[in-house]
C-alpha cells in the first residue's frame, strides 16, 4: 500500500516525538511513588509491567519507562487509524493528531509509571476494533475489568450509549461489568462538599492547556445539543461529567477520568474546523487568533516539558518544587557509587526507596543526611549546570558513636 504525504508526515511526527521522549527519560529520576509501585509485592499491572521490562533490559530509567512509551506509540497510531474518514481533509486529521501529541497530560502519561496511558490505549483499541468489525468485543471489556478500576467509566459510558443505540446486549453487559468493577474496586463518595470543582477545572486546564480546555468543554457541550453524538462523545462526556459532579463533594483522582476525556480531541478539532470554514474569510479573524493562541500555548507547554530540567535549575528553592520528586536521586546514586558506596541509610524513606532502584541498598553503618551532623562529614553536592541544587552529608555512624562514648 502506497503511503500518502500525510501518512509520511504522521510517521515523521511520531518518530520525532518518540525521540524527544527518549531524550526526556534521561533527565528523569524515579519518584518515590514509582519506586513504591516497582518494589511492590502486590500483583498489579504496573508492578508486573515494570519488573518484566527491567528483567529484560536491566534496572535503569529507560527500561522502567519504555513500556509506557510503547503504549503511547500504540495510542497515537490507533487514533490516527480511527480518524481515517473522520475528517473531510487529511490535513485536518494530522492537526488533530498533532494536538493530541502535544497535550501536556499525554506527554506526562507517556513517561510516568501510571495506568493513564494504558487506559488510553485500551479505550482506543476497543474503539478501533469496533470500527473495524462493527461489533462489540466483549472479551476485551472483560479483560479491562481486571486491568484498572477506571475502566468502570468506560462501562458506564457504554451503558449510556447502548440506551441511545437501543442495543440490549451491550446494555446488559456494560451494566454487569460496571457493577462488578464497583464491587471489586469501589468508589469513595464520602465527605461533605468541599468546593473542589475549581481545582478539577484547574487540573484539566493543566492537562489540556487553559485555552484548549475551555474550547474543548464548549465543543462537548455544543455537540451534545446540536450534533449527532458518537461513542467518542459518550465516553468523554461521561468521564468529564462524573469528575465534575464528584469534585463538588470530594477531591478526585484525576488519573481515573482524564484518559477517557482526551480521546474526544477529534470532536473538538472537527467542530472548530467546521465553524471556521462555514464563515467567509473576512469573518475568520477570531478563529485564527484563537488557533494561534491555543497552538502557541501548547508548543510552549511542550517546550517546558522537554527542557523542564533546565528551567528547574532557576527555581528559587528547587527542592520544594513539585518537579523535585523526579530529580536528584539518580545523580546522588551515581555520586555515591563514585565513592564506592553501595549501601547507606537515611531518615528520608522516600529517598531511600528511590536510591534502592539505582543499586544503593540500606547500610546502617553510614547515614545520609541533608543536615550536617558532627564534624566528620563528607559532603556530596548535587549540581545542575554548575549550580548546587542541594547537598547531602555522609556520616560514619561508628565514628559518631565512638565520639559520643569518648
pLDDT digits (tens, 9 = 90+) for 52-78: 999 999 999 999 999 999 999 999 999
Q: How far apart are CA 350 and CA 138, in angstroms?
A: 41
In a domain, 230, yes or no: yes
- Chosen domain end from 279, 306, 333: 306
In a domain, 312, yes or no: no
Do 293 and 342 reside in the same domain of the chain?
no
What is the domain count for the chain?
2
Do 177 and 100 reside in the same domain of the chain?
yes
Residue 356's pLDDT is what?
A: 95
Average pLDDT value for residue range 3-15: 92
In this structure, the strands spanning 366-369 and 387-396 are antiparallel
- Chosen domain end from 280, 306, 332: 306
194, pLDDT greater than 80: no
- State percent of the chain over pLDDT 70: 91
Do 255 and 375 reside in the same domain of the chain?
no
In a domain, 311, yes or no: no
Range of the domain at 197: 5-306
Q: Are 59 and 359 in contact (CB under 8 A)?
A: yes
Residues in the chain: 406
Do 382 and 241 reside in the same domain of the chain?
no
Q: How far apart are CA 216 and CA 294, in angstroms?
A: 11
Do 212 and 107 reside in the same domain of the chain?
yes
Residue 363's pLDDT is what?
A: 87
Confidence category of residue 384, pLDDT binned at 50, 70, 90: confident
Do 255 and 335 reside in the same domain of the chain?
no
In this structure, the strands spanning 345-346 and 377-384 are unpaired
310, pLDDT greater than 80: no
Do 124 and 31 reside in the same domain of the chain?
yes
Q: How far apart are CA 98 and CA 164, in angstroms?
A: 31
In a domain, 268, yes or no: yes
Confidence category of residue 307, pLDDT binned at 50, 70, 90: confident
- Chosen domain end from 252, 273, 306: 306
In a domain, 313, yes or no: no
Do 43 and 171 reside in the same domain of the chain?
yes
In a domain, 315, yes or no: no
In a domain, 359, yes or no: yes
The more confidently predicted of residues 3 and 333 is: 333
Q: Is the whole-model pTM more than 0.85?
A: yes
Do 277 and 325 reside in the same domain of the chain?
no
Do 292 and 399 reside in the same domain of the chain?
no
Do 170 and 219 reside in the same domain of the chain?
yes
Q: Going by C-beta distance under 8 Å and a sequence separation of 6 or more, which residues neighbour residue 161? A: 167, 170, 231, 234
In a domain, 238, yes or no: yes
Do 282 and 334 reside in the same domain of the chain?
no
Confidence category of residue 321, pLDDT binned at 50, 70, 90: low
Amino acid at each position: 500500500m502506497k503511503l500518502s504525504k500525510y501518512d509520511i508526515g504522521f510517521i515523521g511526527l511520531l518518530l520525532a516525538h518518540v525521540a524527544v521522549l527518549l531524550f526526556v527519560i534521561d533527565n528523569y529520576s524515579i519518584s518515590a511513588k514509582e519506586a513504591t509501585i516497582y518494589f511492590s509485592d502486590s500483583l498489579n499491572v504496573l508492578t508486573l509491567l515494570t519488573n518484566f521490562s527491567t528483567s529484560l533490559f536491566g534496572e535503569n530509567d529507560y527500561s522502567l519507562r519504555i513500556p509506557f512509551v510503547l503504549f503511547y506509540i500504540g495510542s497515537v497510531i490507533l487514533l490516527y487509524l480511527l480518524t481515517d474518514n473522520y475528517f473531510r481533509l487529511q490535513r485536518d486529521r494530522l492537526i488533530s493528531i498533532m494536538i493530541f501529541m502535544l497535550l501536556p497530560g499525554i506527554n506526562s502519561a507517556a513517561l510516568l509509571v501510571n495506568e493513564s496511558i494504558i487506559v488510553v490505549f485500551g479505550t482506543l483499541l476497543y474503539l478501533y476494533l469496533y470500527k473495524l468489525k462493527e461489533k462489540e468485543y466483549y472479551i476485551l471489556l472483560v479483560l479491562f475489568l481486571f486491568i484498572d478500576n477506571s475502566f468502570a467509566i468506560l462501562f458506564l459510558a457504554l451503558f449510556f450509549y447502548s440506551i441511545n443505540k437501543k442495543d440490549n446486549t451491550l446494555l446488559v453487559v456494560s451494566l454487569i461489568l460496571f457493577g462488578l468493577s464497583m464491587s471489586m474496586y469501589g468508589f469513595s463518595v464520602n465527605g461533605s462538599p468541599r468546593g473542589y470543582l475549581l481545582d478539577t477545572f484547574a487540573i484539566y486546564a493543566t492537562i489540556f492547556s487553559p485555552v484548549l480546555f475551555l474550547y474543548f468543554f464548549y465543543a462537548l457541550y455544543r455537540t451534545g445539543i446540536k450534533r449527532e453524538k458518537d461513542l467518542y462523545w459518550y465516553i468523554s462526556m461521561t468521564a468529564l461529567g462524573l469528575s465534575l459532579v464528584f469534585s463538588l463533594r470530594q477531591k478526585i483522582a484525576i488519573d481515573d477520568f482524564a484518559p477517557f476525556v482526551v480521546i474526544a480531541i477529534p470532536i473538538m478539532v472537527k467542530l472548530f474546523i467546521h465553524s471556521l470554514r462555514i464563515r467567509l474569510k473576512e469573518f475568520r479573524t477570531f478563529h485564527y487568533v484563537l488557533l494561534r493562541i491555543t497552538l502557541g500555548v501548547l508548543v510552549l507547554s511542550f517546550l517546558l516539558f522537554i527542557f523542564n530540567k533546565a528551567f528547574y535549575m532557576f527555581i528559587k528553592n528547587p527542592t520544594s518544587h513539585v518537579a523535585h520528586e523526579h530529580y536528584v536521586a539518580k545523580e546522588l546514586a551515581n555520586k555515591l557509587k563514585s565513592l564506592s558506596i553501595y549501601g547507606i541509610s537515611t531518615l528520608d524513606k522516600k529517598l531511600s526507596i528511590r536510591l534502592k532502584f539505582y543499586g544503593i541498598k540500606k547500610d546502617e553503618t553510614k547515614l545520609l543526611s541533608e543536615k550536617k551532623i558532627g564534624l566528620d562529614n563528607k559532603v556530596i553536592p548535587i549540581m545542575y549546570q554548575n549550580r548546587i541544587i542541594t547537598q547531602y552529608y555522609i556520616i560514619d555512624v561508628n565514628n559518631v558513636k565512638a565520639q559520643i562514648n569518648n
